[in-house]
A and B are shown apart, each in its own frame.
Chain A
Amino acid sequence: MRRYLTNLLILTIPIAVVFLVLQLTVHHIPNSYQYKSDYIRVHGKDIKTLALGHSMLYDGFDPQAFDTASFNMCNSSQMYDISYKLIERYLPYMPNLHQVIIPICYFNVISSREPKHSPSVSTHEQKLRMMYYHEYMGLDFGNELPLAYRMEVFQFKNAIEKLKSYYIKHIDIKGCDSLGRRNTHNLKHRKNNWYNVWNPFKESTSSYHDLFFLDQEESLIKIIKLLSSHHIKTILVSPPYCVKYCSMINREQMEFLKSYAEQTALRYGCIYLNMHLDSTFTEDDFYDIGHLNEFGAEKFTKKMKRHLENKQQYNL
């Protein structure tokens, strides 16, 4: 037995050491999650406007075009349940927060009876993202996050790829600018067949419009109520799609979205801005059909700012 255990230790200790070194190394690679967490802890008291949501606002909200007291706390596929955990955790660091901008989009309005139409991410990718939120932003997912996703090194392949990208290929993995907006979906990054990369209408049109995304809706309402209890305004926004490629749009689903968002805004005292089919945004403003590039983001943010100022003046 002693011999067996000794040999086993000889075999496994080097592996454990490699894992430990790998974990420490990969943990120190700059990433958007760690960056945003650190930024809020350090500069949170200066933030008055926060964008909180998924990639359409991660690309679309340009804090530099809004005002210097704003920050983009969005991330890819960051749905309402995660946004709620984030705002719950980081709100104490933002005592001067006035308003939070939350996206509500065509692909959000998907019946829970058709999970296959959800934003096209695999379960593995979802769990990877949960792992990043857990490891770098301290979010707790309980039993929802398997043990294999509790430490980055357990996703060995992913960790190796990250190390290769950062240390060998010198790719900027952080992926966002100093105020949190994604900077890897700019016009120069756009592919030739950019209009085929992702089509939200093709992938996210549902047959059912009687059941809103129940589990996400609950989180959305919780966000609004939490913000309201701190006298923080919620702004629901539907960022622009590239109208030229919206031929597959389901009008009924779009109407459902508009109706639901307006009712929610009315019920909870929020503002709703619908710019999904705003034709002032041209092809040159987009990275793909649903995501704005830097030019479109600037245009969208400024337009949103003007609308908000008008609404605030109107409310006065």
Chain B
Amino acid sequence: MYFNSIEFLLFLPIVFLLYWFVFKPLQWQNLLIVIASYIFYGWWDYRFLVLIAFTSFFSYVIGLLLEQHKNNRRCQLCLSATNIIVNLSVLGVFKYYNFFVDNMAALLATFGFHQDPVTLNIILPVGISFYTFQALSYTIDVYRGNIRASHNPVEFFAYICFFPQLVAGPIERATNLLPQFQKPRFFEYAKAVDGSRQMLWGFFKKMVIADNCAVIVNQYWDNYTQLTGAQLLTVAVLFTFQIYCDFSGYSDIAIGCARLFGINLKRNFDNPYFSRHISEFWRRWHISLMTWFRDYIYFPLGGSRCARWKVIRNTIVVFSISGLWHGANWTYITWGLYHACLIALFIIIGANTKFKTKTVAEGHLLPSLKELLQMSFTFFLAVIGWIIFRANTISQAIDYLAHMFSSSLFSLHWIDGKTWVLASLGMLIIEWFQRDKQHALQFGNNKLFSHAAARYCCYYAIILLILLFSGSSQTFIYFQF
């Protein structure tokens, strides 16, 4: 079930009313969450439910066993390793089997061994990467002693399958989300209102900006050889806005929706295109995934508290795996390596990647010239990365970049996407003025929006924009991961 569907518009109020008016006791609310989430997830394909149920059950049992053997570290290590192997194997089979088989066959062919690879005709279950990582983080945190194992299967299943964040994150940590299913929840007006506003902003970004940019990108991408450099740059910029609005829009909807049920999810995007440095970009983009890699891969490898070459090694490992996480294609791995190389380069030259202020131009209306140049350069680096990400093959990515950086880059031929470049910039400007907030519709102490009429005008304006300008419905990009 997609968020931007009539089905979800009917589903959400029903679940919301049942949650607060009928299923009032904690256990009943958790059970409702599980049932509703399974309906939500099974709407795509009921067969997906078997897999998520297996992952949930297996991780739950491992958690109990880990606690049972808390005095036997070796046993705990075996259990934890088993859990990691099993869950990653499931993920590997569904997501990466054909990729590895095809590449192995290609590799063998270079040595003269020709094999017909046996590939599987498997549908990739929606959200498998997200909930698998969420399950893994639980068992690892139990192993590390960061959290007690859950003794309630309903609350644990609710933690794994909570529908707002099930299929495209944020990837929640057990330390944050599980306790919320263990405590009674109370309806809070301010939280619900803020959550609703965040959902509205998420729908706007997804349905108006992302979907319209997608139409133009899809139209021109396959014929890129016929475009000028300037046009190719425009298409790349549109994709940059598309992927941001698509993914951050989804996250906003997920976080806002969770708040309607009294659940707080972690922020997943923190205005990444206002980053002053590529390292800062990765502290602001898909925060839940990058912190997952940081805590469970980067830090165990030594993090940044080791020799410089190890720091670079750790960075390359994390970003390569991050690229691979996104999909079974060399373009994703290359995209990860591209960012790893950028960060490694800054490590080598010893560039300062920490800033005095948390937010760019903090306390000021506009950025300084230096900050503007920093943001522009970081944005440009991100655009290059997204070209690699979007390409079907590495050779297409290289070809695209070669065409873009030709002499025709300075031609004045434009494509039809000018309107949506401007609309995207308009969205970015709104987010700029709200950059210190969780989302763009968090009015805070703004005098104008202290009047109900102004707020309602704003809501109606956004709803009207969504109704009038929503593009052809596109699947959320991150559903395929």
Query: Which residues of A line the B interface, CB within 8 A?
Result: 1, 3-4, 7-8, 10-11, 15, 122, 124, 146-148, 150, 154, 156-157, 160
A39 nearest CB across to chain B (Å): 32
Asked if B468 contacts A156 (CB within 8 A), the reply is yes
* Complexed CA–CA distance, A42 and B351 (Å): 82
Cβ of B118 < 8 Å from any Cβ of A?
A: no
**Selected contact of A1 from candidates B20, B196, B459, B467, CB within 8 Å:** B20
Given contacts A4-B193, A15-B463, contact A147 B470 (CB under 8 A): no
A15 nearest CB across to chain B (Å): 7
Asked if B6 contacts A147 (CB within 8 A), the reply is yes
Query: Which residues of B line the A interface, CB within 8 A?
Result: 5-7, 10, 20, 187, 189, 192-193, 196, 456, 459-460, 463, 467-470, 472-473
Asked if B459 contacts A157 (CB within 8 A), the reply is no
Asked if B189 contacts A156 (CB within 8 A), the reply is no
Asked if A148 contacts B459 (CB within 8 A), the reply is no
Task: Give 4 nearest A-B pairs by CB, closest first.
Answer: A147-B6, A156-B467, A148-B6, A1-B187
Chain A residues with CB below 8 A from B6, complex form: 146-148, 150, 154
Chain A residues with CB below 8 A from B196, complex form: 8
* Complexed CA–CA distance, A160 and B187 (Å): 38
Asked if A11 contacts B456 (CB within 8 A), the reply is yes
Given contacts A1-B20, A1-B187, contact A157 B467 (CB under 8 A): yes
**Selected contact of B7 from candidates A3, A10, A147, A157, CB within 8 Å:** A147
Chain B residues with CB below 8 A from A124, complex form: 472-473
Chain B residues with CB below 8 A from A146, complex form: 5-6
Asked if B472 contacts A122 (CB within 8 A), the reply is yes
Instruction: Say whether chain B's binding surface is mostly helix, strand, loop, or mixed.
Output: helix
Write the chain A residue with the least CB distance to B456: A11
Chain B residues with CB below 8 A from A7, complex form: 193
Q: How many A-B pairs with Cβ below 8 Å?
A: 36
Chain A residues with CB below 8 A from B192, complex form: 4
Write the chain A residue with the least CB distance to B5: A148
Chain B residues with CB below 8 A from A156, complex form: 467-468
Write the chain A residue with the least CB distance to B467: A156
Chain B residues with CB below 8 A from A3, complex form: 189
Chain A residues with CB below 8 A from B10, complex form: 147
Asked if A160 contacts B468 (CB within 8 A), the reply is yes
Chain A residues with CB below 8 A from B459, complex form: 11
Write the chain B residue with the least CB distance to A123: B472
Given contacts A7-B193, A148-B5, 19 further A-B contacts (CB under 8 A): A1-B20, A1-B189, A3-B189, A8-B196, A15-B463, A122-B472, A124-B472, A146-B6, A147-B5, A147-B6, A147-B7, A148-B473, A150-B6, A156-B467, A156-B468, A157-B467, A157-B469, A157-B470, A160-B468
Chain B residues with CB below 8 A from A150, complex form: 6
* Complexed CA–CA distance, A147 and B193 (Å): 27
Chain B residues with CB below 8 A from A10, complex form: 456
A-B contact pairs, 12 of them (CB 8 A): A1-B187, A4-B193, A8-B196, A146-B5, A147-B6, A147-B7, A147-B10, A148-B5, A154-B6, A157-B467, A157-B468, A157-B470
Chain B residues with CB below 8 A from A147, complex form: 5-7, 10
Chain A residues with CB below 8 A from B467, complex form: 156-157
Chain A residues with CB below 8 A from B456, complex form: 10-11
* Complexed CA–CA distance, A3 and B456 (Å): 15
* Complexed CA–CA distance, A10 and B456 (Å): 9
Chain B residues with CB below 8 A from A157, complex form: 467-470
* Complexed CA–CA distance, A119 and B87 (Å): 44
B342 nearest CB across to chain A (Å): 38
* Complexed CA–CA distance, A3 and B452 (Å): 13
A56 nearest CB across to chain B (Å): 27
Write the chain A residue with the least CB distance to B200: A11
Write the chain A residue with the least CB distance to B470: A157
* Complexed CA–CA distance, A10 and B460 (Å): 11
* Complexed CA–CA distance, A3 and B191 (Å): 13
* Complexed CA–CA distance, A160 and B470 (Å): 13
* Complexed CA–CA distance, A118 and B472 (Å): 20
Chain B residues with CB below 8 A from A8, complex form: 196
* Complexed CA–CA distance, A150 and B7 (Å): 12
* Complexed CA–CA distance, A3 and B193 (Å): 10
Asked if A4 contacts B472 (CB within 8 A), the reply is no
**Centre residue among A3, A11, A160 by max chain B CB count within 10 A:** A11
**Centre residue among A3, A4, A154 by max chain B CB count within 10 A:** A4
Chain A residues with CB below 8 A from B472, complex form: 122, 124
* Complexed CA–CA distance, A189 and B420 (Å): 32
Write the chain B residue with the least CB distance to A149: B6
Asked if B189 contacts A4 (CB within 8 A), the reply is yes
* Complexed CA–CA distance, A126 and B7 (Å): 20
Write the chain B residue with the least CB distance to A154: B6
* Complexed CA–CA distance, A308 and B470 (Å): 50
Chain B residues with CB below 8 A from A148, complex form: 5-6, 473
A117 nearest CB across to chain B (Å): 16
A144 nearest CB across to chain B (Å): 15
Write the chain A residue with the least CB distance to B190: A4
* Complexed CA–CA distance, A11 and B200 (Å): 12
* Complexed CA–CA distance, A79 and B196 (Å): 43
* Complexed CA–CA distance, A1 and B196 (Å): 13
* Complexed CA–CA distance, A124 and B470 (Å): 13
Chain B residues with CB below 8 A from A15, complex form: 463
* Complexed CA–CA distance, A10 and B20 (Å): 20
Chain B residues with CB below 8 A from A4, complex form: 187, 189, 192-193
* Complexed CA–CA distance, A82 and B472 (Å): 24
* Complexed CA–CA distance, A11 and B189 (Å): 16
B413 nearest CB across to chain A (Å): 22
Write the chain A residue with the least CB distance to B466: A156
